[in-house]
Amino acid sequence: MNTYLTRRKSCSVCGVTFPIEEFTYGNRENRSYCKSCDAAVSKAYAQGGTTAARAFREEQRRKWKSD
């Protein structure tokens, strides 16, 4: 059994646990954001720059850490 395929990790933005493959994109492995959060952060950045991206990440973290 390939342990790479069975490992899981939590996204640092949304807090959801995904298979490790969800954190491999953009020619890099072992990122801290899942693919869907990376896309959402990129969209926030495109709309409002660094400040908007940071605010989006902080808001998402606040949502799952308060549960």
Give the C-alpha separation, 21 to 31, whole Å.
Answer: 10
| Confidence at residue 2, expressed as pLDDT on a 0 to 100 scale | 55
Determine the residue type at 64: W
pLDDT in tens, 14-65: 999 999 888 988 888 788 999 999 999 999 999 999 999 999 999 999 988 8
| Confidence at residue 3, expressed as pLDDT on a 0 to 100 scale | 53
| Confidence at residue 26, expressed as pLDDT on a 0 to 100 scale | 80
| Confidence at residue 60, expressed as pLDDT on a 0 to 100 scale | 92
| Confidence at residue 7, expressed as pLDDT on a 0 to 100 scale | 86
Query: Is pLDDT above 80 for 8?
Result: yes
DSSP one-letter code for 17:
E
The 10 Å Cβ neighbour count of residue 34 is 23
Which contacts qualify for 55-63: CB closer than 8 Å, 24 or more apart?
57/13, 60/13, 60/14, 61/12, 61/13, 61/15
